[in-house]
Amino acid sequence: MIGAIRCAALALAVGFSTSSAAQYPEKPGRLISPFPPGGLADIFARTIAQSVAEQSGKVFVVENRTGAGGRIGYEAGAKSAPDGYTFVITDVTYTMMPALYGSLPWNHADLVPVTLVAQMPFVVAVNVNAKAASLSDLIGRAKASPNTVNYGSAGVGSVNHVVSELFKQSAGVQITHVPYRGMGDAMTALLSGSIDMVITAMPTAMNGVKAGKVRALGVTAPRRAGALPDVPTAGEAGVPLVAGNWIGLTTPRGSPREAIDWMQKQVSTAVSTPGVRQRIAAQGAEAQAMTTEEFAKLMQDEGRRWGDVIRAAKIKAE
């Protein structure tokens, strides 16, 4: 009799456990975007939130927590309860932060990988009226007259600044940094002829290229980009530079593996659909999910790589 009761109790417990697991998520969650509404990361966040809702009927609300180069949003995410209901839109800059800042007001390891959403190469771009007709021309000019070619960035320690320093190392050139208060200001300076070049994520350059005001000289990808098929890779110009920005999801450390796996599966399904792939491609990016383990390796590798660049260039974020 006692054995029967124990078996019944065990079955009931397993039933409750299975029922509870099957119900995740039981309430609305949130996607924290550390970047402003209307920006690339925000667009991807809303695309994913909409897709998750359509696929599962579950709601994840995009919450913009902007400022301090993304640090406000990242801190808010890292310090959130690890209950499986908070995810954070994360880009390559997160992997640069330990090397850029002497200290952070949260433990950098307190945001853990979930999955990749999209990747995009950087573009080396000049004003359409620039004398440089190719990346080889630009590099030749920079080598002939060190420090006379200048480049704009979104500010000291911005991703554009860091990748431009990697370009300098890879191409063997000395070019002068001109920091601005955002990439919008840097692009305006490029269009006015105040600076010679920028290296920026493809979506930022696309509008100028499409309008015929910006000339793309090269992409930092292993192969030509579908959005700019006539633009050669940096490698084709003899510069061994492959680098890109990416958008992914992280979550507070200690979040249930069930929640991580559920969201990874949702994103993987979403980015495989033609509609989502087209929306992401329209921004000059390529939709691509990863397993949680693959994304963890990417973040670790990027942290080491960009940390080396930052330390070699002695960059300290403002």
* pLDDT at site 102: 83
Return mean pLDDT, the chain: 91
CB atoms within 10 A of CB 181: 9
Cβ neighbours of 141 (radius 10 Å): 17
**134 confidence band (pLDDT: 50, 70, 90):** very high
Contact 82, 249 (CB under 8 A): no
Overall average pLDDT of the 230-243 stretch: 94
CA 158/CA 70 separation, integer angstroms: 11
| pLDDT tens column, 161-203 | 999 999 999 999 999 999 998 888 999 999 999 999 999 988 8
Q: Report how far residue 315's alpha carbon sits from residue 93's, in angstroms, rounded to the nearest whole number.
A: 14
In angstroms, the CA 132 to CA 144 distance is 13
Distances (CA, A) of 53 to 25, 56, 60: 12, 5, 7
pLDDT value at 20 more than 50:
no
What is the C-alpha to C-alpha distance for residues 298 and 183, in angstroms, rounded to an integer?
25
- Return the structure tokens found at 160: 């554009």
pLDDT-derived band at 282 (thresholds 50, 70, 90) equals confident
18: pLDDT strictly greater than 70: no
Q: Residue 106: phi, psi to the nearest 5?
A: -150, 165
Q: Give the number of C-alpha atoms closer than 13 A to the C-alpha of residue 286, restricted to the C-beta side.
A: 15
Q: Which residue type occupies 294?
A: E
pLDDT confidence of residue 22:
57
For 162, phi then psi, to 5°, come to -65, -45
Alpha-carbon distance of 58 to 288, in angstroms, equals: 22
Q: Which domains does the chain have, with CATH numbers?
A: 27-119+245-313 (3.40.190.150), 120-237 (3.40.190.10)
Confidence of residue 218 (pLDDT cuts 50, 70, 90): very high
Helix (H), strand (E) at residue 62: strand 60-64
Of 230 and 38, more confident:
230
Residue range 79-118, pLDDT digits in tens: 999 999 999 999 999 999 999 998 999 999 999 999 999 9
Examine the pLDDT at 301 and tell me if it is beyond 80. yes
pLDDT at 26: 96
Maximum distance among all alpha carbons in the chain?
Answer: 93
Q: Please, which pLDDT band fits residue 69 given cuts at 50, 70 and 90?
A: confident
pLDDT at 220 over 90: yes
